[in-house]
Structure formats: structure tokens, C-alpha cells
Amino acid sequence: MTNETVVKDEDTDSLSILPMAILPFDSVTLRGMAMVKNHYFESAIQLYKDSKTGAGHISPDDIRMSVAGISAHDLQIISHISKLHSFDVYSLRIALRAHGIKVNDTKYLRLSPKMQKDLEIYVRPFTARLIRAIYGADSEEMETADVGQLLRNADPEKARKNLKMIASKIQIDLSKVPQFLEDYGDIYLSISYYRNQLQELSPEMQEFFAALKMLKANSQMKGNPEIAKTSDRLEDRINKICGALQDRFTLFSQSTEAMWNDMSAEKFEEFKSLVEDNHAAIGALLCKLSVKMYAWHENFPSRHTAGPKRMADFLVTDMRKGF
């Protein structure tokens, strides 16, 4: 791609940022922009962002006012991606495939190497179970977090031996083993990614709840029933979202147990479909939580850094919208 824009790892791993450089736009100008979710959980095109001037956003519907001569092809892509509820790589895979939109490089639909490394601790129990079932608990392969290494890093003779052993245990053809291992690692990486995103939001959610409690107890706010009503509604909404997410993670754990009671390639495909069918919904819920908690934390790093009126105004105007 000419005039290629560098895509940052943190953008690749984000729920709420889509670097437009990864998509096949005709316009070089568009490739330097990003689609983001704003504080209202609306899609916006980010024209620029820097530490001094901040960020400049416009509605996707207004892009022709800022970029001249946009092709119908580019407008169609913008229309499709602006309707997405999350920009995480797993949700993107599904949405872009559904609309027939190809990325400029498939690496942009994978988590960054750093994120994959950070998530190894969460993925390892799942890969360990596969390796233990195939090789036994005392095998040297138990130290492997990436199941793909069983073939990539082995000498040719050992790789052939591993292929035959895996094919026999999982009941698949030798030729399908590499794809099975890739899919196995990837599906559990996706679960680990989403669980980690929720876990990292926990401190910000607790700080937000503490701020709501402080607001409702404030003498200036007690005369405004709308503040208490909005606070209770948002807290209830957030708790319901977290509950829905935990229910899905529990379902994945239970389905994993059921799969391993009678492990086969067919059982894994059923499990893989179950998880992938939930990617878009999980991504949307997490993206909404992430955007809203980031908006609050950006404006109020601590609940003691601003007066109650300013916090109450932001609660009603910015936090409520989109929830």
C-alpha cells in the first residue's frame, strides 16, 4: 500500500479504535484517519489527535465536507464500519467478512504480539489441557503455551511424530492438524482477551460507583431527584452488563468441560462456533463499558478532583447517553 500509515499496537488491541489504514480505501487521506467511539458511544471519524490540540472528530455522514472527491467505494466502507458496536479484532473479522471487506494485511485482524504475550497466563490453562490429553502430564511439551510451537519449533522427525499423535487423539486427518492447532489457540486467546478487558475495567467501575455514591449523598444534590435516579439507573445497567459478560464466560467454561468429556475435532468446531457467535455481542458490551469508563476517568481522574455540580452535569449529559 502506498503511503502506508503505521498502525499502533494499542490501536490494534483496542475495543473502540479502528485505524482506517487497515482497510482498502481509495483515498490516501482516509487511510490516515481512525474510526472511534466517542463519549456518547457513537461512531466518529477522528481527523487528528495530539497531546497539545486534542482530537478532532466529525460524524461519518459529514466526511465529504472534510475530504474531497471520496469514491462511492470508500463511502460504502465508512457506512458499514460506522454501524459496528465494537472495533476489536474478533468483532471486525465477523463484520468485515459479512460485508466482503478485505483488510490490507490479515495481521491487522490479530492481536498485537505484545498483547498475545501478555495474555499467555490466561491462555496457558487451556493449551495445557490439550497438551496433557495428547502427550500426558509429565511430557516436556507441557511447558508450551503456544500449541503451534508443537509443529513449528520441532525438528522434522519430531514434528511428524507430533502430527500423527494429535491426529490420532483428535480424530482428524494429518493435513488438518496445523489448522486445528491454530484455531484452538486463537479461540481461547479471544476468550482471554475479553476476560482481561473486563478485569482491567474493574478498578474504574469501582471508582465510578464510589463517585455516584458520593454524589447522591452530597447536600447540594439531594434536592435533585434526577441525579439519584440517573445514578441508580447507570449502576444497575453496568452491573447487568457485567453479569451478562460473566454468564457468557461461565458458559464457555462449562462448554469446555463438556467438550473435553468427549474430545474430537467435531466437538471443537461446535465450541468454536459457540464462541465466535458471541464475539460481536461480547465486544459490544465491553466496548460500551470501556468508552464510558474512559470518558468518566478522563474528566474525573479522582472523584475528589471536581465539584459535585460538574460531575452531575457530565453524568446526565454524557454518561447517560448511549447507555
| Domain shared by 204 and 311, yes or no | yes
User: Taking a C-beta distance cutoff of 8 angstroms, is the pair 19, 5 a contact?
Assistant: yes
Q: What is the domain count for the chain?
A: 3
Mean of the per-residue pLDDT values for the chain? 89
pLDDT confidence band for 103 (50 / 70 / 90):
very high
pLDDT band at 44 (very low <50, low <70, confident <90, very high): very high
- Please say if the pLDDT value at position 16 is more than 90: yes
d(CA 46, CA 159): 47
Q: What is the pLDDT of residue 233?
A: 95
Q: Is there a contact between 241 and 288 (Cβ–Cβ < 8 Å)?
A: yes
Instruction: Kindly state the average pLDDT of the residues 31-41.
Output: 95
Say if residues 32 and 6 touch (Cβ distance below 8 Å): no
Classified as helix, coil or strand, 34 is: strand
120 in the same domain as 56: no
Domain that holds residue 163: 116-176
pLDDT tens for 212-258 read 999 999 988 888 889 999 999 999 999 999 999 999 999 999 999 88
Q: Are residues 75 and 170 in the same domain?
A: no
Beta bridge partners of 17: 36
Q: What per-residue confidence (pLDDT) applies to 310?
A: 92
Domain assignment of residue 190, yes or no: no
The amino acid occupying position 256 is: T
Q: Which of 78-87, 130-139, 182-191, 200-209 has the lowest mean pLDDT?
A: 130-139
By CB atoms closer than 10 A (0-12, 13-18, 19+), residue 129 is middle
Same domain, 100 and 140: no
- Contact assessment for residue 60 and residue 45, using Cβ atoms and an 8 Å cutoff: yes
For residue 1, what pLDDT is reported? 41
Residues 238 and 313 in one domain: yes
